[in-house]
Amino acid sequence: MSPLKNTETALSSSTGNSESFLANHDQQGATKCERDSLADPLDLPVRGCYRFLRPPRRIRIAIMDRSSLTRYAWLSIAAAIVTIGLKSFAYLLTGSVGLLSDAVESVVNLLAAIIALAMLIVAARPADEEHQYGHSKAEYFASGAEGVLILLAAVSIAVAAVHRLLAPRPVEQAGIGLAVAVVASAINFGVARVLLHVGRTSSSITLEADAHHLMTDVWTSAAVIVGVGAVALTDWEVLDPLVALVVAANIVRTGFQLMRRSIAGLMDAALPPEEYEKLMAVLDKYKEQGIQFHAIRSRQAAGRRFISIHVLVPGRWTTHKGHHVVENIETDIRGALSGVTIFSHMEPVDDPLSFRDIEIDR
């Protein structure tokens, strides 16, 4: 039998056993405890009765539905196709190497958006027997690929700029060409803002990378527009390739930043400081009640977060009481952090053995 089917069978069996146990307890223990007067397990004064929490009849494993994110990748693809056409038309009108570099970057945007779509489709797949933690890390491949494509675009822009710097050429029909470039930039700006908002709220590094890529394109276009406009006003033709070189240097920086984030994700980097502070704020509430924690570890895989933690409770507590306290802790963590999977381990705080498993290698 497969591991997943074994898990489903075990969950079903444990649910049935719990229901039977609770039914017996309700019949036999009603005279011992007044259930309505019982407080939370943390507040129980050890009077021989505990609150029995009835488990749900069906246990569901929550899986984030991220398939809807693919529509934003389609939006990016559509924007790239439109802007390629507009910028190519602007280049043909003006002959500006700056506008040519801008059009080349839009082609890179299209390739990046296609890669983003493919990786979002993969990342949205549910966990299976071969990938039991899901497929969310696929998003890091998309952002890494975008970083590489940005660097390639920078190289192509720099080569064209150096060639034009050695052989200057006048800019023609600057007014119409710049107007077309402005329209293309406005489209990219609008799409980039949408992708950035959705990427941050859904913790999708793929959409964030695509958004930053488009914003790089916007800044590229703005610099090109200023450069071409300056050439048209001053007839100083070297301004056009000089602006293109500045643009190339700027997008190299963006490309390296995307690649660095992708590598960090693939290397199981811990949660960012702001999220770690939220986690510690939850744990601090329980520390005030005599509960300790150690071996706290975390990692992030795009929209999914994983936290491992050891919970140290008083040794006199029953397993039942400690279990429900740990459940409360996990519930509070999930309330503070979205898309989190928690692996908790309960230990007696007064047992020296509890402090021998803090390090990752015991």
For 192-212, write each residue's pLDDT tens digit: 999 999 888 877 877 887 888
User: Do 252 and 295 sit in the same domain of this protein?
Assistant: no
Six token digits for residue 183: 């329209």
Same structural domain, 209 and 348: no
CATH number of the domain that residue 278 is part of? 3.30.70.1350
**More confident position, 77 or 136:** 77
312 and 179 housed in the same domain: no
Local structure of 196: helix, strand or coil = helix
Residues 71 and 129 in one domain: yes
Q: Is residue 155 part of a domain?
A: yes
Return the SS3 of 18.
helix
Most confident of 85-89, 132-136, 143-147, 232-236: 85-89
298 inside domain: yes
Measured distance CA(135)–CA(125) in Å, rounded = 6
Instruction: Give the residue from 266, 287, 311 where a domain finishes.
Output: 266
7-16, 85-94, 252-261, 320-329: which range is least confident on average?
7-16
Amino acid found at 226: V
137 with 247, same domain? yes
* Whether residues 294 and 238 fall in one domain: no
**DSSP code at position 353:** G
Residue 293 pLDDT > 70: yes
Q: Which of 238, 266, 294 is the last residue of a domain?
A: 266
Q: How confident is the model at residue 313 (pLDDT cuts 50, 70, 90)?
A: very high
Which of 266, 283, 313 is the C-terminal boundary of a domain?
266
How many domains does one find in the chain? 2
- 332 located within any domain: yes
Asked if residue 10 belongs to a domain, the reply is: no
Query: Measured between alpha carbons, how far is 158 from 120 in angstroms, rounded to an integer?
Result: 31
User: In which domain, by residue range, is 208 found?
Assistant: 67-266
Can you name the residues that pair with 300 across neighbouring β-strands? Answer: 305
User: What confidence category does residue 331 fall into, taking pLDDT thresholds of 50, 70 and 90?
Assistant: very high
CATH code for position 202: 1.20.1510.10
Q: DSSP assignment, residue 272?
A: P
Note the pLDDT of residue 124: 77
Amino acid identity, position 352 = P
Residue 7 placed within a domain: no
Q: 232 and 321: one domain?
A: no
Distances (CA, A) of 72 to 79, 194, 351: 11, 8, 53
Task: Report the C-alpha gap between 256 and 176 in whole angstroms.
Answer: 34
Encoded amino acid at 143, one letter: S
Residue 160 domain flag = yes
Q: 278 and 260: one domain? A: no
Give the C-alpha separation, 89 to 191, whole Å.
Answer: 21
224 and 342 share one domain: no
Cα–Cα distance between 293 and 362 in angstroms, integer?
17
- In this structure, are 183 and 332 located in the same domain? no
> Which run of H or of E encompasses 186?
helix 174-201
| Backbone torsion region of residue 46, taken as left when φ is above 0, otherwise alpha when ψ lies between -120 and 50, otherwise beta | left
253 and 294, same domain (yes or no): no
| Whole-Å CA distances, 336 to 99, 146, 320, 323 | 47, 31, 25, 20
Domain membership of residue 218 (yes or no) is: yes
More confident residue, 330 or 304: 330
| Alpha carbons 309 and 293: distance in angstroms, whole number | 7
Residues 260 and 306 in one domain: no
Token readout for 324 is 């429900």
Give dist(CA 140, CA 31) in Å, integer: 58
From the CB of residue 292, how many other CB atoms can be counted at a distance below 10 Å? Answer: 16
- Percent above pLDDT 90 for the chain: 15
Sign of CA dihedral 112, 117, 118, 122: positive
Amino acid at 326: V
Is 361 a member of any domain?
no
Alpha helices in the chain (DSSP H): 3-28, 70-94, 97-123, 138-166, 174-201, 205-234, 239-266, 273-287, 319-336
- C-alpha distances in angstroms, 274 versus 11, 195, 292, 341, 362? 35, 22, 22, 18, 29
